Amino acid sequence: MSGASSTRIGRIIRRLRQERGLSQQALATRLGISASYLNLIEHDQRGVTAALLIKFTRALDVSIETLSGTEEQKVEAQLREALSDPELGADMEGAAHEVTTVAAQPNVARAILALHQAYRAARHDAEGMALPGGRRLILPHEEVRRIHDERMNYFPELEKVAESVRDDMAHALGFAGGATLPQSEVNHAVASRLRQQHGVVVQVLPSGDVLRRYDPALRQLVLSDLLPRESRGFQLAFQLMQFEAREAIDKVLRQEVPSTREARVFLEIGLTNYAAAALLMPYMSFLEMATACRYDIEVLSLRFGVSYQQAAQRLASLQRPGARGIPIFFVRTDPAGNITKSFSSCGFPVPRQGNPCPQWNACTAFTTPGEIRTQVVAFTTGQTFLSVARSQVGAVTQWGEPRPMQNVVVGCDITRAGEVVYADRLNLEAKPTPIGISCHLCDWKDCRSRAFPPVAHRLTPDVNQKIMRPIPFEGP
């Protein structure tokens, strides 16, 4: 198991059992072992054989990756990042064991992360980040990202609604089922359903910088004529799922209880986007095609009539129990290194503050727009991933306007790389590119791209010597 250790597997099993409300006796019965033996496993006093490991995945309905410590590694990375915040002034040198101990206690870890998020919000608030009308910005995107992460970016209630609507549209057009609805007919089917079921008239018009505008009073949806075809289709699906998935979206909003109006609206938009993607890319059809083409994103985007980014993001949501895809991370960055969107179901430690590592292809792919760049990257924790990046240039609305650029990055744990087409021309046995969560948290000593010193190590400047590394410091 990638990333697993004998000192961690018991904690993982105990957490998963408690999350499912199972007693030790109930889980032991499912496994065919005694409750006392399970108790020893949970306290890391007994190892787990390969055969028993498979039984655990079935009994708890989880993937091997989940049992490998993906969640624990992610929480450890988040804790280390939060506790290393320079504004806190904390000395994290030699504190790896303490962080691991805290991460093993999910409730305590979540409380610390929540307190750090509240501190960051208060700090930004004190700095005067006000919205029009006097309202204060309280990091709504961060709150929404946490909700997606906790659910592994999978929302079964939205998948169910999307499948039902897709089936209804197929029957309306005379097809036997949603899976047989040709992709060439989907936009027409969505527009027809908007008109027939909801009385919405769709128009494509010049609309300035507004890409989509819905007028509830007139029941009119205006799409910009500057939108490419695949984006136009996605906006149609978004509008339809605002109606069709209303009850399911409200259910998630009631469960999560966002702390601010802004966070609630951003979460609602994110959930509606998810439902629209599920409508255009039906779960089982998309998973089967992804498996058949070995996660070739360009093939998937063509087959389903969506953009490269839409197909890539959909790959990061294939975590249905009993029908899981490869656990994927998805990251979108801009040329300044800002992470504008991210999801991860494979434990990739996406930075929550600061910019990503300049050696990661999430940053370097901007030099080759439109070209897919592959890379094997490794963190000092031993986590190693396949990373696939593609930079894309957006359209301009008038001459002289700078073209917007963004980088779409997806990847998986190196143990699953052989299932992905992008690994075919890579030597997976070669030394990976060393990267860090951010410069402040990176332990790699010989990096020549470092922009900031690591907070956990003592600096060693020398007036009589200049070395190739930009910032000298003592190694771990």
Residue 139 confidence (pLDDT) above 50:
yes
Residue 103 confidence (pLDDT) above 90:
no
Residue 128 confidence (pLDDT) above 50:
no
Task: Give the range among 114-128, 266-280, 386-400, 414-428 with minimum mean pLDDT.
Answer: 114-128
Tens-place pLDDT, residues 41-100:
988 888 888 889 888 988 888 877 777 766 666 677 777 767 766 556 555 555 556 666
Tens-place pLDDT, residues 173-183:
888 655 578 88
| Confidence class for position 159, pLDDT limits 50, 70, 90 | very high
Q: What is the distance between the alpha carbons of residues 184 and 176, in angstroms, rounded to a whole number?
A: 16
Q: What is the distance between the alpha carbons of residues 282 and 284, in angstroms, rounded to a whole number?
A: 6
| Confidence class for position 337, pLDDT limits 50, 70, 90 | confident
Tens-place pLDDT, residues 362-398:
999 999 989 999 999 999 888 899 999 999 988 777 7
Residue 454 confidence (pLDDT) above 80:
no
Query: What pLDDT is attached to residue 165?
Result: 95
Query: What pLDDT is attached to residue 164?
Result: 95
> Are 378 and 433 contacting, i.e. CB atoms less than 8 angstroms apart?
yes
Q: Higher model confidence: residue 352 or residue 416?
A: 416
Tens-place pLDDT, residues 163-176:
999 999 998 888 86
Residue 414 confidence (pLDDT) above 80:
yes
Segment 274-293 mean pLDDT? 97
Residue 353: how many other CB atoms lie within 10 Å = 18
Segment 334-348 mean pLDDT? 88
What percent of the chain shows pLDDT beyond 70? 84
